[in-house]
Amino acid sequence: MMLSSVETRMSFLRSEIERHNRLYYLHDAPEITDAEYDVLFRELLELEERHPDLAIPDSPTRRVGAPPLEKFFQVPHGIPMLSLENAMTDGEIVEFDERVKRFLGIPLEGEIEYICEPKMDGLAVELVYRDGILTRGSTRGDGFVGEDVTLNLKTIKTVPLRLSTPEPPRLVEVRGEVFLPLKAFQRLNAEREEEGEPPFANPRNAAAGSLRQLDSRITARRPLSIFCYGPGRVEGFEFRDQQGFLAAVSGWGLPVNPQIRKVSGVDGVLGYYREMAEKRDTLDYEIDGVVVKIDSFALQRELGEKSRSPRWAIAFKFPPRQAVTVVEEIVPQVGRTGVITPVANLRPVEVSGVMVSRATLHNWDELEKKDIRVGDTVLVERAGDVIPAVVRVLTDKRTGVEKAVPIPASCPECGSETVRFPGEVAVRCLGLSCPAQIRESIIHFASRNAMDIEGMGVRYVEQLLRLGLVKDVADLYSLTRDDFMRFERMGDKLAENLLNAIEQSKRRELSRFIFALGIRHVGEHTAKLLAEAFGSIRDLEKAGEEELLTIREIGPEVARSVTTFFGNQRNLEVISRLLAAGVCPLAEEKRLGGRFTGKTFVFTGALRRFTRDEAARLIEREGGHAAGSVSRKTDYVVAGTEAGSKLDKARALGVTIIDEDEFAGMLEGGST
């Protein structure tokens, strides 16, 4: 059958977008700019909106996340996802090799071909592809039954929704490990601590917490990744060995760890283990050992499994990166939003070749829960280049002179009274002139993802404050060459570079400017939503909570935070001074001029012709908002079958109620 020009174009766009996703996320070798990628993506999205009958479930536009689920469904695994036995010493690997040879009847002096791979510290999952299309994804669970997290897995950019092969297997189950890169883990924890939320204990917990969100839109905002390592059930294809499986799935677009290697015998395994132990701190993800597998699938089948683990594989664990030391001091540290966190100064100790003298204690509840005191002997642990943490107190080492540190009643930087809001673990300083907050807010304002003032790092910000040259971010734009020449070790060229960087920062995107302001609960993603919705900082300033709540993904907490920020007269004065100094945030593409401009829709009940996401995108494309709740500002409630309480509220408020057919007529050009 001949394809129409629209179908051909959509097929081409899907293929190109997935190819660029692989180049960007798997090979770190992009061929086009982000802007060029966005043009392709928007074109496909618009074509799918105009021709929903031609949209397919594995389109790359379907990675944006879906509304919250009430619970996860249970998914039985066709072949159990077994755990592995552990080895801790070279001798235990020798014993494993000899045990395998005896079982297979191979002479002990013979050599077996092994596949060695880094043991990822993440969350094991299974991806199910039928005829090349991802139909289900689940967690390992107890090995026999997992949780259906298909929607969340689809948000991971490195998970292909369709295998890139013209002749895919009828069925292939692919096991993999979902993980959060270390830098992303650090950013996520820093954001959580700044907002007074409990941080994740380690990258594995962060990955698991991100993947097991009932709201897949939260998962979509976290940069999870995955490496695939083994098969489950396979129909319509045959793999001879582990190496062949990895080569095949890699060719189909599934990510495979480039560190995986085939080796011969015990010497090859031990050499690989030592190499990975040396590389461990250079990797952008956490590993806690290596996995050793017999390469041949025929030999794997012959060896079989024990009750909970296969006989043909073993995990060779690294020694724990822990050490015992003493807490010499517990000091309160003030962040840019005023959150005061405890930090332990330790008696310096070496942990895996690195001298450690500080450890994060996260928050005061955590300090109390672990009962950490000054003078305590503690076990500290380091994960990658993440700040070390105190694992536990060795209470049997106490002498009675250890001292508990209470929650500070006043800010250590400015002396202002501290507060703790109901429902939060965070202790805060609300002092507007707190020097620590000013320092951190300027550092944030100048950072790469905000106003990107190149060269304006911590050292220079501290000198600006020490010399009294700045009191807030607006003062940056009144600095002169003579001001910079007062710095230690400052030359003409460096001063000129800093002034040029400040000047260039005056024309940044509105979303980056909003993010740079440091509004509580407003990260990069939320800043983009606000920039798109309002188009200018002055329009955002005037927004009320109800108006903010009409924006998708903006909830009551964010709305309150935004209105509180712009309700502060001092914040408005700083913004006015920024604009007067020539800072000119560039407007984002604003959804204006459509037939629904200024209109707010709410959907209730089941729709026949559209999914909720499709309907919301169509409304936004025409300049309107799709809100999640009914208010006096709601213009239309679209009622599907089995409509619930939203319909009752709409009637009570006198909001116009239409059915799905009337909504479709409005889309096709009817009256609004």
Quote the tokens at residue 564.
């509180």
d(CA 642, CA 636): 17
Instruction: Evaluate whether 167 touches 213 at the Cβ level (below 8 Å).
Output: no
Q: What are phi and psi of 75, to 5 degrees?
A: -125, 115
Q: Cβ contacts of residue 318 below 8 Å, gap of 6+?
A: 277, 280, 287, 288, 289
Q: Cβ contacts of residue 219 below 8 Å, gap of 6+?
A: 65, 152, 155, 156, 210, 211, 213
d(CA 47, CA 8): 11
d(CA 583, CA 576): 10
d(CA 64, CA 82): 32
- Strands 377-381 and 354-360, by their bridges, are unpaired
Residue 327 three-state SS: strand
H-helix or E-strand containing 366? helix 364-370
Check if 306 is active-site: no
Instruction: Evaluate whether 234 touches 301 at the Cβ level (below 8 Å).
Output: no
Residue 454 three-state SS: coil
**What CA–CA distances, in Å, run from 343 to 337, 437, 655?**
17, 17, 53
Query: How many beta carbons lie within 10 A of that of residue 570, not counting itself?
Result: 10
Q: Which of 101, 119, 370, 493 is catalytic?
A: 119
DSSP string covering 624-638, please? -EEESS--TT--EEE
Angle between helices 556-566 and 569-580 (to 10 degrees): 70
Strands (E), 301-395: 313-317, 322-334, 339-351, 354-360, 377-381, 389-393
- What torsion do the CA atoms of 605, 608, 613, 618 make, to the nearest 10 degrees? -110
Residues forming the active site: 119
